[in-house]
Chains A and B, each alone.
Chain A
Amino acid sequence: MSLSEIATNDMHGEKSAYFDGWKAYDRDPFHPKKNPNGVIQMGLAENQLSFDLIEEWITKHPEASICTPEGISQFKDVAIFQDYHGLAQFREAVANFMGKARGGRVKFDPNRIIMGGGATGANEMIMFCLANPEEAFLVPSPYYPAFDRDMRWRTKVKIFPVECKKSNNFQITKQALEDAYQKAQEQNIKVKGLIITNPSNPLGTTMNRETLKSLVSFINEKNIHLVADEIYAATVFSSPQFVSVAEVMKEVKCNPNLIHIVYSLSKDLGLPGLRVGIVYSYNDDVVSCGRKMSSFGLVSSQTQHLIASMLSDDEFVDNFLAESSKRLGKRHEIFTEGLANVGITCLESNAGLFVWMNLQHLLKDHTPDGEMELWHMIIHDVKLNVSPGSSFHCSEPGWFRVCFANMDEDTVYVALKRIKKFAGNGQKEGEPAKAKRWKNNNALRLSLSSRIYDETVMSPTMIISSPHSPMPRSPLVRART
């Protein structure tokens, strides 16, 4: 007897070629001692930099666990609690944390907090609430690949990409939105909303206030929903400051019934295993219906209890947010400086757990195939599992998302060494150096010494943009044959 259509289509997205990178890693995972030549995992957007802060807090607060002598008296009540409203303290703590992650510039109402099975479940749930099968959501590209599964697979909602381009640093333009909207109309596709990820995955950038305001005006004008996936909100490590849709709503005329935020603790706190997904909606009916739907993916009450305790501790939260941000900033700097030293630029970014690396100059062909070829080389020869831009539906080949926060510092340097080796392999014969690259805002940063990776990060004042590089080869790095 056959299974359902949903069970037999490929909308889960796992048959894609992109799993090659994962397979390569699984077969041959890097370990500093046991397998120093293995594949380094740089395809997982995880935040592993601040566990010590959490572990320290938990050690000091045994009552946060229902399994300790201090917390056991709560065991029964917590174990039996399956109310889809969630523990009141949990909702309050999460609302408190969300506000603090936005610098206290906005307050969140605990009664609008709905649980979801991780952000994965939250994204699917909000689609079930807002759109019917065959209706569509506009999604600016490049976007997180799993949106294809989360938003479409069981809901049958369509994704309509809004192309963003390098020429303006992948910012979403009103024009691009209008074009996409028009195109949908022409194809008789009903657009129910727009989903944005801010800070962006894979770009690592925060949306500027003006753009956000124009998006809110756009959706308000078209009377369509805006879902803002803000799961990287607290991974912002440098300016500009994060501006949430929650703030912009106050500044632009809009119907609050159209505004919804998806959140999670997977990135900001580094706790993806705990499956803490949140839907926060300004629409009362969505809150009401979403809450009923949350039964399909409630957060374990054991986890709700832990999170409630932790995030109610203002001192912990304030300290964590500041320290985590600092560590991410430092890691980002080490990595981008290291890349720049070998002539690899990244989109300038101030958030996220990854960089959006530009390897366009290494492509043999400026085509998706060219990108795949380069990618395979990176996986199998350089032995880094990075994610090719086409998996993010980027319209321009040559971009790669590279994660930097899921490893210790030593591993970062190993990765940089390998990149350096790969990048410093000679200029293609007959290919002239392209002068315009030197004028790039993200100027090539040349190292004076190949030992740069073992020392503290070079200060910007030492950056040389001279074409007279001390490095023997062209800064125009090129793919190895």
Chain B
Amino acid sequence: MYGMSNQQQILLSKIATNNGHGENSPYFDGWKAYDSDPYHHIENPNGVIQMGLAENQLSFDIVEEWLLKNPKASICTMEGMSEFRDKAIYQDYHGLTQFRNAVAKFMGKVRGDRVVFDPNRIVMSGGATGAHELVTFCLADPGDAFLVPTPYYPGFDRDLTWRTGVKLLPVICESSNDFKITRKALEAAYEKAQEEKTRVKGLLITNPSNPLGTVLDLETLKSIVTFVSEKNIHLISDEIYSGTVFGSPGFISVSEIIEEMECNRDLIHIVYSLSKDMGFPGFRVGIVYSYNDDVVNVGRKMSSFGLVSTQTQHLIASMLSDDEFIENFISKNSEKLSKRYEDFSSGLYEAGIRCLKSNAGLFFWMDLRRLLKEPTPAAEMALWQLIIHKVKLNVSPGLSFHCSEPGWFRVCFANMDDETMEVALERIRSFVKKDLSAKRQRWQDNLKVRLSFRRLDDPHMMSPHSPIPQSPLVRART
């Protein structure tokens, strides 16, 4: 850490003094910019809009309405008070039975009831953050490695490696095939580890993907399960966005795949949380669901380091036991995400910005490669600084997700109201317009139709005889 004297450094542990927490990276500039100048539609209309936080703020009203109708869900209401002391005193790491039952049921419903989850395999942890660390402590020794397809959630570096001493090795995915995970890429990463004499203990996938917002197709999932089985390594499937799927194709969970394929179930583990699907990151409801009995047993013991508050367990148990509520929530939530996605992406389209086609998650994976001065990390950083300080949007640069190609940005869309979204879109439009007029010449030279853009059926997009006087890639609005 900076500013620490040598003596201080000796006083603390190596973990305390290394950068394994990942916060010294320059990517925190975006956060700092936001913190020092946060947008507020009345008080600070020119402030930085936060688009770097993958939060789901669209469905609180459904939850609040339910809460007011169900006072027993709280141990603090008159109706719920009789439960107070039993819950307050309960610190058993098995967790409340009703909690495990309710979470298992919710997980099943999110997967369209195509699979049933066993409440006895539900292990609690301190948010998904704690869940990832816990599962890593169970499966790998210091120096061992997990393969992780890129681009991936930056927090994995901290969660899986900081205190565990385990390494993360990238499996490179490329835009040329929409960042799909190929068997070839998996093998290449595995080989590389062998050459470096690093023992690979498992593969970590995020499905639906952060930052891509895409779901894994059946082929890919099957090939992944085959790969881990062949190599006899673990598969951790982070499915925390499973309830944010809003369009086709539908979500296929690893829990469904293992019903259809021969595989060693002792290798299969799911990480879940209510932070994204329900929008409750503050409640720290992290879940490890393992098909391996030993992992369940030891994981449960480890969960003591990050149990879910029983006040929260009780609330969640009540809420997620209500079938009517769950079904209503899942479908309305999906509708709202879908609408927000549509509104935003049509706005982006009009501004000539393209994104990876996606159907899940709380963000776009935006393609701004054409706005780079050159296809380098430095150019991405420069563009990013521009977006933060001039356009005043805190978006997340692709390199922070270990993306192998510069120019991609993750932009969150579900953590704001409609009004703010409009303001963000307007700023993007203005920026692109200015940038366009500066780069018009270069763009016309490089003009190509990008098939990855979602509005393939839009006649304006397809025809070179666009009624739009300028390049079809950009639509300036005054």
Contacts and interface: CB of A to CB of B under 8 A. Distances in A.
Contact of B306 (A51, A76, A117, A273): A117
B309 A297 contact: no
Contacts of B266: 1
B88 A130 contact: no
A69 B63 CA distance: 13
B16 interface: yes
A273 B1 contact: no
Given A7-B139, A154-B163, A80 B55 contact: yes
Given A78-B282, A274-B310, A293 B12 contact: no
Nearest to B201: A1
B281 A130 contact: no
Given A1-B267, A130-B16, A300 B141 contact: no
A303 B89 contact: no
A55 B64 contact: no
Interface size class of A (residues with CB under 8 A): 35 or more
Contacts, number: 240
A76 B60 contact: yes
A252 interface: no
A149 to B, nearest CB: 8
B279 A80 contact: yes
Interface stretch (B72-80, B185-193, B432-440, B448-456): B72-80
A152 to B, nearest CB: 13
A239 interface: no
A67 B234 contact: no
B309 A300 contact: yes
Given A72-B67, A120-B304, A124-B305, A285 B4 contact: yes
A64 interface: yes
A300 B283 contact: yes
Interface stretch (A100-108, A162-170, A264-272, A464-472): A264-272
Given A82-B275, A272-B89, A292-B21, A128 B282 contact: no
Interface string B235-279: 000000000000000000000000000001011000000010001
Q: Is the interface of A mostly helix, strand, loop or mixed?
A: helix
Given A121-B305, A286-B16, A303-B312, A4 B91 contact: no
Interface string B57-71: 100100110011001
Interface string A70-96: 001001101111100000000000000
Contacts of B74: 65, 67-68
Interface string A437-453: 00000000000000000
A78 B91 CA distance: 23
Nearest to A127: B13
A301 interface: yes
Contacts of B324: none
Given A55-B84, A82-B127, A302-B283, A289 B139 contact: no
Contact of A7 (B1, B60, B295): B295
A88 to B, nearest CB: 14
Contacts of A270: 88-89
A75 B88 contact: no
A3 B309 contact: no
B67 A300 contact: no
B386 interface: no
Given A4-B141, A7-B137, A129-B12, A274 B76 contact: no
A6 interface: yes
Interface residues of B, number: 77
B21 A117 contact: no
A76 B57 contact: yes
A298 interface: yes
A124 B130 CA distance: 13
Interface string B197-223: 000010000000000000000000000
A39 B461 CA distance: 77
Contact of A273 (B138, B284, B295, B311): B311
Nearest to A73: B64
Interface string B113-144: 00000000000001101100100011111001
A236 to B, nearest CB: 21
B232 interface: yes
Nearest to A272: B91
Contacts of A12: 298, 301-302
Contacts of A128: 13, 15-16, 163
B127 A295 contact: yes
Contacts of A135: 13
A288 interface: yes
Contact of A120 (B233, B279, B305): B305
A214 interface: no
Given A82-B275, A273-B309, A299-B309, 6 more contacts: A1-B267, A79-B282, A285-B1, A289-B1, A295-B129, A306-B76
17 contacts: A1-B234, A1-B266, A4-B138, A5-B141, A58-B76, A76-B57, A82-B127, A128-B15, A154-B163, A273-B90, A274-B309, A275-B91, A275-B307, A285-B1, A289-B17, A295-B129, A300-B283
Among all A-B residue pairs, the 4 with the closest Cβ atoms: A301-B282, A273-B310, A65-B76, A67-B74
